Structure 1
Amino acid sequence: MLITDDFLPVPVPESLSATYLVPMAGLPRVSPKTAVRALEGRLAPPVHGLATQMLDSPLMSVDTRSIDEFPQLPPDLLTAFGATEAQLGRLAAASHLVVVQAEYRPGWPPAHEWAARAVAAAVAESVDGDVVDVFGLQFLDPATALRSLPDEHGRVRLVDWVLVPYSSDAEGLWFTTKGLRRFGLLELQTQGVPDHLTRAWGAVMTGAARRLLRDWTDGLAGEEVPAFVQLPVLATVTGHDIAVAYGNPEQHGATAPVLLRLELDPATDPEADSFLSLRPPPGHPGPDGKYFAAACATLFSGIQPDVRYARSGDAMSRAVATARAGLDGIRARFLAGQLPAESQLVVKYGLPGDEGPEYVWAGVTSWETPERIVGASASDANTDPSVRIGSPVVVESTDIVDWALLDGTGVIEGGWTQAVLDAGERPHPSH
């Protein structure tokens, strides 16, 4: 095996397993095969065929057990990963668990995960129940579980399979992924992330996971499973990686790639997980957090994706007025194709929130009438769970407070409210 300074050898497990549970009061109403047959036409044919084949093979087992035979699932962790009171109530009332387990070799497709989730969703749907993903400690309703499975082209949204939890410590935020081990890869971590980059860095981690998972599965493409896969020490992440991971490959701005250095962080405790740490590239001066902030600025085209509020009667109010005065002119240039080459037009607009509007950015894709813009969100919103990076949005012109032209270096025109924020004036929430 070749070991160089350019590549990091990451060990490959011999096999991978997936476990899903379906809590139920009483015994199953139908067999797993009957439940899976009921999904024909609703699952992409390759996935439906895979689930059927795995059910007939020794690679999958489906057992019904008394709930007393299974270790208790931790309600606090289930709640932390999104469990509702109704789901926890159904779990508490359950007398039995249907346990779906599958094994497969590392590589792509991850047949153990696709098939086990499909079978568990089919069983859960037959009893109007829930699926519990044991790896992610997550409840999934059957419809959500089925939507997460590959389409007819084999595509999935990585965000349906990999979570990015974070916690705070004295150095800043500590991010980890939770889901890459499904595919045999070590989980990622980043430490020392500035607090204001919570949502932005979560998206960067998801994009990095997508890029490294592709390198990982490329290294497992041969007939024999290797002992190690060589991952590049300097990994690149682009806006396209983030958009694909969120399921919006056609809605992404052209961003310059960001370099992240990969370090193996082996666990000292045999029961603990090892990580692949994401760090700034060699030679970066100053604290890591400074580089992470610059990386976010590049990937989100110089636009701060975190929440800020405007108040009247200050520099921010003047900035909003200036931006609004220029809307007709920038629309005319956009429609006439007169914007600079390789540039992107973005607008900042308000979403209603309990503490006043939340302001987010969106890339403009269509502006047919002066009153309404169709675009793609450049950030995740706090107040509206449907507004996610890359998701389509419709913006009323009356809600716009700023616009900007971006290229690979950042803002080249406009961005008046951003200039106020970058100058250090941090407005307070308005009520």
Structure 2
Amino acid sequence: MIRHGLPDPLAAAVSQRLGSPRLTITSYPATDSPWDLSDVAGVDEDDAERAAKATCHIDVTSVLPVGDLPCGPHTARAIAMAIAESVCGVPVDLASNEPLPVIPLERLDEFVLADNWLGVALPPYRNSGNCTAEEEDIDGCACVDLTTRGLHRFGLPELEITDVACPHSLAALNVLRTTAQRLLPLGRHPGTHTVPNELMLTGTDFATYWGYGDPMWDDGPLPIDLMEANPARLAIRPPIDFPGTLNEWLWDELPPILHELLSCEPDRPEPN
């Protein structure tokens, strides 16, 4: 019944996987559940509260071969959202520990990384008013630390960008988003991969993150430097030959759209 509500390609993928380790569904009374949802947090506080007070947990788990990325996680999430809709429940992403926003099931036919797969969002601006740095001071503070929560399910290290000044927080978030998209294809191939210290980000990478067809900037690629923060996380830094600080790089070197675009509707065909 749930498969009937999904677009045809997703319904077919669910049919092929359901009942195998690639897609298992288990129901628990909340008191016996392996998942503690009491600290789920998100933009919608009502959904977080409903998740914390749920009397039943329905778990959708997917154990995948590498070649099934990113289709496998996308399929598992689609069936979880379809189940949540059918029982008037709240879909919760356990990697990011937050409720998922409602996406019409007919719009789930295509995987887009922007559909809350990174588990990272902007903190309250200027540290909820506690930041006293001057607004025009390029390097006036280091209030913002951004770290992804969810790239590991694609076989990738998580990403971070830290010590960012409040005025550059959106630009830093968009650099992180674009870097995640640039690295995503690595997760589709088995084996150990060596990520270069210097990575070139393009306007196509940023567009693909949103599911948008045209490059989002026309100038040349944006070089970034990657360093190992720990065995499971990479830190994003300015290119090694940039003479200034991280915040000066964010202010001076980025394409303007990275300072401007908070969200973007995917370039998907309208349903019939």
Fold agreement, TM-score > 0.5: yes
Structure 1: stretches of 5+ with no match in the other structure: 1-33, 268-273, 306-377, 381-387, 393-431
Contact 2:100–2:116, Cα closer than 8 Å, also in 1: no
Contact 2:17–2:23, Cα closer than 8 Å, also in 1: yes
Structure 1 residue 259 displacement after superposition: 0.6
Contact 1:150–1:156, Cα closer than 8 Å, also in 2: no
Q: Give the aligned partner of residue 288 of structure 1.
A: 246
Residue 165 to residue 147, structure 1, CA distance change in 2 (3 Å):
farther
Structure 1 residue 172 displacement after superposition: 4.1
Q: Is 1:131 matched up with 2:94?
A: no
The count of residues paired between Structure 1 and Structure 2 equals: 251
Q: Is 1:146 matched up with 2:102?
A: no
Provide the rounded CA distance (Å) in 1 between the counterparts of 2:107 and 2:158. 20
Q: Is 1:72 matched up with 2:72?
A: no
Provide the rounded CA distance (Å) in 2 between the counterparts of 1:209 and 1:52. 30
Contact 1:246–1:389, Cα closer than 8 Å, also in 2: yes
Q: Give the aligned partner of residue 45 of structure 2.
A: 84
Q: Give the aligned partner of residue 63 of structure 2.
A: 103
2:204 to 240, 257, 274: 240
Contact 1:159–1:245, Cα closer than 8 Å, also in 2: no
- SS at structure 2 position matched to 1:263: strand
Q: Is 1:262 matched up with 2:222?
A: no
Q: Give the aligned partner of residue 30 of structure 1.
A: none
- SS at structure 1 position matched to 2:89: coil
Residue 145 to residue 104, structure 1, CA distance change in 2 (3 Å):
farther
Provide the rounded CA distance (Å) in 2 between the counterparts of 1:145 and 1:133. 17
Q: Is 1:35 matched up with 2:35?
A: no
Name the amino acid aligned to 1:173: V
- SS at structure 2 position matched to 1:103: coil
Q: Give the aligned partner of residue 183 of structure 2.
A: 212
Provide the aligned C-alpha RMSD in A.
Answer: 2.8
Structure 1 residue 166 displacement after superposition: 5.4
- TM-score normalised by structure 1 residue count: 0.52
Q: Give the aligned partner of residue 81 of structure 2.
A: 121
Structure 1 residue 103 displacement after superposition: 0.5
- SS at structure 2 position matched to 1:232: coil
Q: Is 1:174 matched up with 2:133?
A: no
Contact 2:22–2:63, Cα closer than 8 Å, also in 1: yes
Provide the rounded CA distance (Å) in 1 between the counterparts of 2:49 and 2:234. 37
- SS at structure 2 position matched to 1:259: strand
Structure 1 residue 266 displacement after superposition: 1.5
Residue 391 to residue 53, structure 1, CA distance change in 2 (3 Å):
closer
Post-superposition CA distance 1:269-309 (Å, at most 9, x none): xxxxx31111122232232221222232xx117xx94xxxx
Structure 1 residue 129 displacement after superposition: 2.1
Q: Give the aligned partner of residue 344 of structure 1.
A: none
Q: Is 1:193 matched up with 2:164?
A: yes
- TM-score normalised by structure 2 residue count: 0.80
Q: Is 1:183 matched up with 2:123?
A: no
Residue 159 to residue 130, structure 1, CA distance change in 2 (3 Å):
closer
Q: Is 1:252 matched up with 2:216?
A: yes
Structure 1 residue 211 displacement after superposition: 0.8
Provide the rounded CA distance (Å) in 1 between the counterparts of 2:104 and 2:98. 11
Give % identity.
24
Q: Give the aligned partner of residue 360 of structure 1.
A: none
Structure 1 residue 208 displacement after superposition: 1.2
Provide the rounded CA distance (Å) in 1 between the counterparts of 2:151 and 2:168. 22
Q: Which has more strand, going by share of residues?
A: 1
2:19 to 47, 56, 73: 56
Structure 1 residue 186 displacement after superposition: 0.6
Provide the rounded CA distance (Å) in 1 between the counterparts of 2:165 and 2:109. 35
Provide the rounded CA distance (Å) in 2 between the counterparts of 1:136 and 1:146. 21
Provide the rounded CA distance (Å) in 1 between the counterparts of 2:227 and 2:265. 29
Provide the rounded CA distance (Å) in 2 between the counterparts of 1:206 and 1:244. 10
Residue 391 to residue 121, structure 1, CA distance change in 2 (3 Å):
closer
Post-superposition CA distance 1:105-141 (Å, at most 9, x none): 2345334312221221222222222211111212135
Structure 1 residue 104 displacement after superposition: 0.2
Structure 1 residue 248 displacement after superposition: 2.1
Name the amino acid aligned to 2:142: E
- SS at structure 2 position matched to 1:230: coil
Structure 1 residue 195 displacement after superposition: 1.8
Name the amino acid aligned to 1:379: L
Provide the rounded CA distance (Å) in 1 between the counterparts of 2:215 and 2:208. 9
Provide the rounded CA distance (Å) in 1 between the counterparts of 2:89 and 2:265. 32
Residue 164 to residue 94, structure 1, CA distance change in 2 (3 Å):
closer
Structure 2: stretches of 5+ with no match in the other structure: 132-140, 268-272
Q: 1:277-356, aligned counterparts within 5 Å? A: 277-296=235-254, 299-300=255-256, 305=259
Provide the rounded CA distance (Å) in 1 between the counterparts of 2:198 and 2:98. 32
Provide the rounded CA distance (Å) in 2 between the counterparts of 1:93 and 1:300. 43
Structure 1 residue 188 displacement after superposition: 0.7
Contact 1:171–1:192, Cα closer than 8 Å, also in 2: yes
